[in-house]
Every structure is written in structure tokens, then in C-alpha cells.
């Protein structure tokens, strides 16, 4: 299992090289990897009805994070879709991007995305789930922005990234709260703790955070805007993102957590209403669009809304409907997107209005498209019909009436959208296209044909699908054993009546589409003021604020940086000191000071002031020397002979250094006005007073025992040395010293490099 997942990243890393090796057949060659995975996952199908399979590896044992995987009906359904559709996407991409120069890079990202997606649906640990979740965000960012020379593609990619990663941040918090409430990071444990989790005080905020993550990823209203923009990606990516992966990740998360979080009134209300609204807005915008990929993208928004709503309803039949709908949607949407790519590839047109009568030129594509569109419309023998019947039944039995109304209207409009895709480009008057239309090559057609045919076969053999595939998935979502009872024919009932009604309404809408567009123009203005506007505004504000704060903090003048740092430092120190004010006492004590000590400190202070006020370099350096040697004397007087010796030696060397360099710089100049000098003097005095106060307080307050006693006690028995300072340096804290001599060596190397640079400059 681990190899199946991590191997994907390995293959991704090798992909550019494999592409070189196989040349134009690399698509098929690389498709072997998802094909192998598909067979591997398919072999697990028979065992999955017996309960989840758990595999676990230690990852970060100290944090209790494991790389553990769980295979149950739900994750297996997703894994099969991801790897299965992946086969055709990779093969399709090989042909579709044949002319593109960066195909190797494309394969690498696509396969890495596939591996992340599989990791996401198979993870049992919340942390690894989250890591894979973010990996899908990042790789999909790279995929959407694949044509990075196109500004629109970059913008869309960044938009997708901001929205999904922003949601991801919320999700992480939510998942950590979930783990704290449920007492485990393992999903398999958490799923059995639904009652504890729902009763907990954190339930509402936790749910809000997790839903924010799922909704942004799955493009639910009001975050639906990024998905259609993601159409900037190459067509195989759109087909993959929309059918089986990326956007379904949010749905997967909702379905996965349903046993732990679902079933409450809050869950029902939020998911039901957000889902229904998304459904309606999605299909409305789809019907108003004319670009083929745009229409399909908005219909994906509709499907995602439907799925969210069904999971929110949470009844057995709603969950069955959700899983059936998910399967049906993955099949037809994958096929339709690839067909959109074929139209683009074969005719050069991306707009529905520019196409027509293509049946004559590309009959196989046309028939495939019609079959897939029938499934989208939910017409009788297709699997889409089965899913739609279940959708109607579940909505009729448990949803609020306004939701039912939205669903019925949405379904009728879906029929019209299906007709737009399945009829408009293929039949009727032949449109003039940029390129002469021709039938697509097998690599492009394989995916659509297989997926569309599966949509038909699954419909015809619905009970078999139920038993082998969906039963386990629905049980996993529900948290207990459920038999979905999929069947093509449920007898004559209300749902069938609604099906017929929506079909008729949809076809009417299709034929009156121009009038519909004309009379609904007003919604365009509404859409312009929509959430995307908010996104744009917040991004531009972000840029403005960061530009302002950069101008403010990054002035380029050293003294302003210093002033900001010093003022911040003083503010922080005084805040803490004032908070603890009552407990503090100044340890002022002038007893027992001898005369020579007074004299020494007087010399020190006088020398420091002289250094600051000196008008000549020699005077300043001499004053510095006086400061240094006085400090050395102080060290010696207060029992630090080692420090005294070191200080004297370093002081000597410092003077030599300054003599070598400083006197080759120009003399002192008076560069600032008296007012500025006064300001700096005030800041400097404030810092000095702060440090003095800090020291006086510190002298009187010892919060913790010193660890020096240990060093003193252990020096002889443990370190075999009588000079405790040296024992600390070379034995007790030798690692610190090692770091310090590395710093010294670095400083020397830096000096050497700078002087070398200068020598080279001069020799030029």
C-alpha cells in the first residue's frame, strides 16, 4: 500500500526522463502506472465488504503521527475512479499535448497530483490526510498554471490556490480540534465516536472550520468562482480535476466524516442549503455560458452542490443517491471534458455557437458525446438515470420543500445543458470552423468511449454495481451496513413522473435557449458583483497594505531600522516590567564599594563618553582602548581571570585591526543637524536607562535556581579540571563552543572573500 502511494511520486519524478525515452508513445507508457494501480485496487474489491483494511507505518512516532491507510468501500470507490480515469487522462494527455515542449513536466505534475489524491482518499491519519490534501492544492496549482506564459492562467492558478489553501488552513485547525475531541488522529477510531463528538462544546466551531475547508475545495457557493476559472488548464487537467479528483476531495471529506460529524441539525441545515444553492447557481450559470468548457465547469458546480446536499440529508437513500451520483458524474464528466478537448483539437473552436454539424466529420466522437450527455441528462437506460431517480426519491422523502423545488428546476436545466453538449455541436447546420474537422485519434477517443460505455453498462446492470461497488461505499459513509438497492426500474412513482417532467421542461428550455438567455441577462450584473469581486478586492487590499508597510519599514536608512528596533525593544521590556511592577524592587546598594572601584567605573564612563564625543578618529580609538582595558580590570577584580586575559588580548588585536582599516577611511564629518543629534541622544539615553533599570531589577530577582552549582560541583569529578570556566567551554558545553568557533571561521572566511574580491576589482 505504501509502495502504491509513494511509488506514484517516484514515477512522477522519473516522468520527464521516461518521456524522453518513449517519445511520442510516452502517454501510453506512463498510463501503465495508473493501470497497475487500478488492477491492484480492483483486487481489493472482494474483501472490502468484510470491513476496512488498515495498514500502518510509523512516520513521526514522537508526535504520534503515523502514515496509516484505511481501505473501505468509500476510499476504494475513490481510488478506483482516480486510477481508472487516470489511465485515460494520461494517455489522452500524451496525444493532446504532443506538440507542447514541456510535456515531461506536465506528466510529472499530473502523476504527482494523482499520487497525492490517492494518498488523500486512503489516509487513515488526519495529519497525513491533511498533508495529502495540501499536496493536491499545490499540484493542481501547478497544473492549472501549466501554461505559465499566459497571464490569465497564472491568475486562475493563483486564485485556485488562495481559495483552497485558505480553506486548508481552516481545515487543519478543524481536524486538530476533531482529534482532540475524539482522542485520536486515526479516522478508523474517530468514526466510531460520533456521539461524543456531536455532544462536545467545540462541535459547532469545529464543524464550521472543517466545512470551510471542504467547501472551498469543492467549490461550494460562495467559493464556486475559482472552478470555472481553473479552465485555463490544459483540457486533460480539467477533465481529471472535475471528474474524479480535486473538487471531489471536499465531497470525499464530507462523506468520510459523515459518521463522526453528520446527523446533527446543524449539519443538515448547512449542507442541505449550501448544496442546494450551489446546485441551482451552478446550473444557472452553465446555461448562461457558451464556452464548451465553461458550460461543463458550471455543471460540475451543480453536481458538487447536489452531492453536498445529499450528504447533508444523510438518510440511507440520500447517501445511496450521493454515491451513485458521484460515480455517474465521474464517468460522464470525464468523457464530456475529453470530448470538449477533441472539439477544440479538431476544429479550433472553444465556443458552442461556433460549432454545428460535426457529426459528419467525426461520427464516433458525436455518438460518444451523445451517450455521455444522455447520462448527464439522466435518460432511461443510463446510470445517470438511476442516480437521478434516487436523488428525487431522497429529496421527496426528507428535504424541505424549497430545496425540492430547486432540485427539480436544476434538473430540468441540467437536461437543457446536456442537450447543449450532446446535440448542438453535432447535428444541424454545419458551422465553419478554423480547422477542417477530422475524427480524433484513438488515444483521444479511448477515454470518452470507455467512460461513456460504462455509463450505459452500469445503468443496465445497476444491481451488480450496487452489490460489488457501491454497497460498501454507502455503508462506509453511513457508518452502518446499508443496501442501496440500485435498480434501473423502480416502478411508476412520483420520482419517475418528475423525471419525465424535467425531461420535457429541459427540452423546451433547450429549444428556447436564446429567449432564455435574452430574458435572464440581468443576472450577469448580479454575477459581476458576486464573490469573485470580493476576492479581487481583498487581494488588491492585501497588495496595497503590504506595499505601504514595506515602504514604512524598509526605508533603506540604517538609523530608521535601528530606531524601530530600539523603540520596539523598549516598549516590550517596559511592558513586562510594568506588568510585574509591584513584585519588583530595585537592588540599589552602594555599601562596601572601595575607592579604587569608584575610580575605575569613573574612568570607564568618562572613556565611553569621550569615545562618543570625540571629533577625531585617533581620539575615539584611544578612548575605546581605555574602555576595553578598564573592563578587563573589572573582570579581574571580580573573580574572572580568564575573562580579563581574553579581554586584554582582544583589545590589543582590535586596536591593530582599527589601525589597519579605520585610518584609511575619511575623517569624522558632522553630517546631522543639532536637532537630530538631540533626538538620537534622547533615544540612546532612554535605552541606557532601560538597561540600567533592567539590571537593577534583575540583580534582586532570581526566579530560578542557577545551574552553575552543578557545573561547580561536577568540574573536578566529572570534567577532571580545576578551571571550571575552561571545563564548561571544552566539556560541559562543548557543542556551544563548537558552534562559536564555526562562527569565527565563517567571519574569517568572509573577510578573506571580501579582500579577494577587491583584489580582483583592482586587477581589472
Partner 1 sequence: MSTLLATAVGVLYATAIYLILRRSIVKLVIGLVLLSNAANLLIFTSSGLTRYAPPLIPEGSDTVLNGIVADPLAQALILTAIVIGFGVLAFAVVLIHRAYEVVKADDMDQMKDTDT
Partner 2 sequence: MNMPKQPDSLILRVTGHFLLPLLIMFSLFLLLRGHNEPGGGFIGGLVASAAIALHLFFTDVQSARRLIWLDPRDLLGWGLSIAIASGVIAMFSGLPFLSALWTELTVPMFGMLKIGTPLMFDIGVYLVVIGTVLNILLSLAEAEEA
Give the residue with the Cβ less far from partner 1, 178 or 631: 631
Q: State the Cα–Cα distance between residues 4 and 9, nearest whole angstrom.
A: 9
Nearest-10 crossing angle of helices 383-398, 292-313:
50
Binding mask 700-719 for partner 1 (x = CB under 8 A): ------xxx--xxx-xx---
Nearest approach, Cβ of residue 711 and partner 2 (Å) = 14
Nearer to partner 1, 545 or 699 (CB): 699
CB of 222 to partner 1, least distance (A): 42
Q: Of these partners, partner 2, partner 1, none, which one is at the site of residue 587 (CB under 5 to 8 Å by kind)? A: partner 1
377: exposed, middle or buried (C-beta count within 10 Å: 0-12, 13-18, 19+)? Answer: buried
Residues touching partner 1, count (CB under 8 A) = 97
| Residue 689 interacting partner from partner 2, partner 1, none (CB closer than 5 to 8 Å by kind) | partner 1
Among 20, 755, 760, 764, binds partner 1 (CB under 8 A): 755
Choose the stretch contacting partner 1; rule: CB under 8 A; options: 273-281, 342-350, 361-369, 562-570: 562-570
Task: By CB under 8 A, name the binding residues for partner 2.
Answer: 641-642, 645-646, 649-650, 652-653, 656-657, 659-661, 663-664, 719-723, 725-727, 729-731, 734-735, 737-738, 741-742, 744-745, 747-749, 751-752, 755, 758-759, 762
Residue 688 binds to partner 1 (criterion: CB under 8 A): yes
718 grid coordinates: 566529572
Quote the least distance from Cβ 656 to partner 2, whole Å.
6
Output the smallest distance, CB 727 to partner 2, in A: 7
Residue closer to partner 2, measured from CB, 408 or 640: 640
How deeply is 59 buried, as exposed, middle or buried, from its count of CB atoms within 10 A (0-12, 13-18, 19+)? middle
Binding flag, residue 628, partner 1 (CB under 8 A): yes
Which of the listed partners (partner 1, partner 2, none) does 706 bind, with a CB threshold of 5 to 8 Å by partner kind?
A: partner 1
**590 touches partner 1 by CB under 8 A:** yes
CB of 576 to partner 1, least distance (A): 16
C-beta separation of 277 from 499 below 8 A: no
Q: Is 151 in the site for partner 1 (CB under 8 A)?
A: no
The yes or no reply on residue 589 touching partner 1 (CB under 8 A) is yes
Residues 6+ apart with CB under 8 A from 554: none
Give dist(CA 154, CA 263) in Å, integer.
Answer: 40
Neighbours of 680 (CB within 10 A): 14
- Residue labelled with grid coordinates 561547580: 712
User: How far is Cα 364 from Cα 371, in angstroms, rounded to an integer?
Assistant: 11
Give which of partner 2, partner 1, none residue 699 binds (C-beta under 5 to 8 Å, depending on kind).
Answer: partner 1
Q: Read out DSSP for 3-27?
A: HHHHHHHHHHHHHHHHHHHHGGGHH
**Residue 53, strand partner residues:** 71
Closest separation in Å from C-beta 690 to partner 1: 8
Burial label for 182, CB within 10 Å (0-12, 13-18, 19+), is buried
Examine residue 689 and tell whether it contacts partner 1 (CB under 8 A): yes
Rg of the chain on CA atoms, in Å: 36
Q: How far is the CB of 692 from partner 1 (least distance, A)?
A: 3
Q: Torsion angle, CA of 680/686/687/693, rounded to 10 degrees?
A: 170
CA distance 309 to 220: 10
State in angstroms the smallest separation of the CB of 640 from partner 2. 9
- How far apart, in whole angstroms, are the C-alpha atoms of residue 410 and residue 420? 15
Q: Which of 556, 582, 675, 763 binds partner 1 (CB under 8 A)?
A: 556
CA distance 339 to 162: 30
Closest CB 552 distance from partner 1, rounded Å:
15
Rounded to 10 degrees, the C-alpha dihedral 506/511/512/517 comes to: 80
Return the number of the residue (432 or 707) whose C-beta is nearest partner 1.
Answer: 707
SS3 455: helix
Q: Identify which range of 220-228, 420-428, 577-585, 641-649 contacts partner 1 by CB under 8 A.
A: 641-649
Task: Select from partner 2, partner 1, none the partner in contact with residue 742, using the beta carbon and a kind-dependent cut-off of 5 to 8 Å.
Answer: partner 2
Instruction: Give 691 or 753: the residue with its C-beta nearer to partner 2.
Output: 753
Between the alpha carbon of residue 409 and those of residues 63, 329, 436, 589, the distances in Å are 51, 19, 38, 87
Among 526, 665, 703, 735, binds partner 1 (CB under 8 A): 665
608-627 residues in contact with partner 1 (CB under 8 A) are 608-609, 611-612, 617, 620-621, 624, 627
Element (H, E) at 553: helix 531-553
Give 529 or 661: the residue with its C-beta nearer to partner 2: 661
H or E, element range at 54: strand 53-60
Residue 734 contact among partner 2, partner 1, none, beta carbon within 5 to 8 Å by kind: partner 2
| Exposed e or buried b per residue across 84-111, where buried means at least 16 C-beta atoms within 10 angstroms of its C-beta | bbbbbbbbbbbbbbeeeeebeebbbbbb
Amino acid at each position: 500500500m505504501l509502495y502504491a502511494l509513494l511509488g506514484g511520486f517516484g514515477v512522477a519524478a522519473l516522468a520527464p526522463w521516461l518521456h524522453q525515452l518513449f517519445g511520442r508513445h510516452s502517454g501510453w507508457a506512463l498510463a501503465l502506472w495508473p493501470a497497475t494501480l487500478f488492477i491492484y485496487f480492483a483486487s481489493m474489491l472482494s474483501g472490502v465488504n468484510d470491513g476496512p483494511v488498515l495498514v500502518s507505518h510509523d512516520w513521526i512516532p514522537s508526535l504520534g503521527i503515523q502514515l496509516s491507510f484505511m481501505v473501505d468501500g468509500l476510499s476504494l470507490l475513490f481510488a478506483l475512479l482516480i486510477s481508472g480515469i487516470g489511465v485515460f487522462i494520461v494517455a489522452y494527455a500524451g496525444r493532446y499535448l504532443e506538440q507542447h515542449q514541456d510535456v515531461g513536466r506536465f506528466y510529472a505534475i499530473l502523476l504527482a497530483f494523482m499520487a497525492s489524491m490517492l494518498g488523500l482518499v486512503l489516509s487513515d491519519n488526519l495529519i497525513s490526510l491533511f498533508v495529502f490534501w495540501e499536496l493536491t492544492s499545490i499540484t493542481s496549482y501547478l497544473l492549472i498554471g501549466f501554461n505559465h506564459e499566459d497571464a490569465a492562467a497564472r491568475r486562475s492558478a493563483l486564485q485556485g490556490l488562495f481559495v483552497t489553501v485558505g480553506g486548508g488552513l481552516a481545515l487543519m485547525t478543524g481536524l486538530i480540534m476533531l482529534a482532540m475531541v475524539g482522542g485520536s488522529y486515526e479516522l478508523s477510531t474517530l468514526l466510531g465516536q460520533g456521539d461524543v463528538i456531536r455532544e462536545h462544546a467545540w462541535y459547532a466551531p469545529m464543524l464550521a472550520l472543517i466545512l470551510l475547508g471542504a467547501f472551498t475545495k469543492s467549490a461550494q457557493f460562495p467559493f464556486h468562482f475559482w472552478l470555472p476559472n481553473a479552465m485555463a488548464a490544459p483540457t486533460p487537467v480539467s477533465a481529471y480535476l472535475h471528474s474524479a479528483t480535486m473538487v471531489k476531495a471536499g465531497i470525499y471529506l464530507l462523506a468520510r466524516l459523515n459518521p463522526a460529524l453528520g446527523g446533527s441539525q446543524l449539519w443538515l441545515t448547512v449542507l442541505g442549503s449550501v448544496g442546494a444553492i450551489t446546485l441551482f447557481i451552478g446550473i444557472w450559470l452553465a446555461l448562461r455560458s457558451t464556452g464548451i468548457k465553461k458550460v461543463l465547469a458550471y455543471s460540475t458546480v451543480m453536481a458538487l452542490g447536489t452531492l453536498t446536499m445529499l450528504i447533508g440529508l444523510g438518510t440511507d437513500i440520500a447517501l445511496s443517491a450521493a454515491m451513485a451520483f458521484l460515480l455517474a458524474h465521474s464517468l460522464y464528466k470525464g468523457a464530456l471534458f475529453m470530448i470538449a478537448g477533441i472539439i477544440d483539437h479538431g476544429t479550433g473552436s472553444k465556443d458552442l455557437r461556433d460549432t454545428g454539424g460535426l457529426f459528419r466529420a467525426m461520427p464516433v466522437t458525436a455518438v460518444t458525446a451523445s451517450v455521455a450527455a444522455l447520462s448527464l441528462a439522466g435518460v432511461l437506460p443510463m446510470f445517470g438515470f438511476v442516480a437521478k431517480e434516487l436523488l428525487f426519491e431522497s429529496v421527496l422523502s426528507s428535504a424541505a420543500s424549497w430545496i425540492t423545488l430547486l432540485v427539480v428546476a436544476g434538473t430540468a436545466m441540467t437536461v437543457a445543458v446536456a442537450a447543449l453538449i450532446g446535440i448542438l455541436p453535432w447535428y444541424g447546420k454545419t458551422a465553419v470552423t478554423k480547422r477542417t474537422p477530422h475524427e480524433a485519434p484513438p488515444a483521444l477517443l479511448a477515454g470518452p468511449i470507455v467512460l461513456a460505455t460504462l455509463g450505459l453498462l452500469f445503468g443496465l446492470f445497476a444491481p451488480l454495481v450496487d452489490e460489488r461497488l457501491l454497497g460498501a461505499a454507502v455503508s462506509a459513509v453511513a457508518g452502518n451496513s446499508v443496501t442501496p438497492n440500485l435498480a434501473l426500474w423502480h416502478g411508476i412513482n412520483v420520482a419517475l413522473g418528475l423525471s419525465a417532467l424535467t425531461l420535457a421542461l429541459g427540452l423546451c428550455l433547450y429549444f428556447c435557449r436564446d429567449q432564455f438567455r435574452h430574458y435572464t441577462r440581468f443576472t450577469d450584473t448580479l454575477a459581476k458583483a458576486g464573490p469573485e469581486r470580493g476576492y479581487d478586492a481583498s487581494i488588491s487590499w492585501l497588495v496595497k497594505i503590504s506595499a505601504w508597510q514595506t515602504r514604512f519599514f524598509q526605508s533603506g536608512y540604517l538609523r530608521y531600522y535601528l530606531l524601530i528596533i530600539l523603540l520596539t525593544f523598549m516598549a516590550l521590556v517596559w511592558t513586562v516590567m510594568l506588568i510585574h511592577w509591584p513584585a519588583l524592587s530595585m537592588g540599589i546598594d552602594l555599601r562596601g564599594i572601595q575607592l579604587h572601584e569608584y575610580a575605575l567605573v569613573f574612568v570607564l564612563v568618562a572613556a565611553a563618553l569621550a569615545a562618543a564625543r570625540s571629533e577625531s578618529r585617533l581620539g575615539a580609538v584611544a578612548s575605546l582602548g581605555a574602555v576595553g582595558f578598564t573592563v578587563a580590570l573589572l573582570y579581574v577584580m571580580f573573580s574572572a581571570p580568564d575573562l580579563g586575559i581574553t579581554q586584554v588580548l582582544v583589545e590589543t588585536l582590535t586596536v591593530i585591526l582599527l589601525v589597519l582599516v579605520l585610518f584609511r577611511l575619511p575623517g569624522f564629518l558632522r553630517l546631522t543637524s543639532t536637532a537630530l543629534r538631540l533626538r538620537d541622544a534622547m533615544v540612546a539615553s532612554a535605552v541606557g536607562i532601560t538597561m540600567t533599570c533592567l539590571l537593577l531589577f534583575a540583580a534582586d530577582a532570581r526566579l530560578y535556581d542557577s545551574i552553575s552549582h552543578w557545573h561547580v560541583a561536577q568540574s573536578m569529578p566529572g570534567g577532571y579540571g580545576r578551571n571550571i570556566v575552561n571545563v564548561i567551554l571544552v566539556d560541559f558545553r562543548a557543542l556551544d563552543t563548537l558552534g562559536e568557533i564555526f562562527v569565527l571561521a565563517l567571519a574569517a572566511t568572509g573577510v578573506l572573500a571580501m579582500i579577494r574580491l577587491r583584489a580582483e576589482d583592482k586587477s581589472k
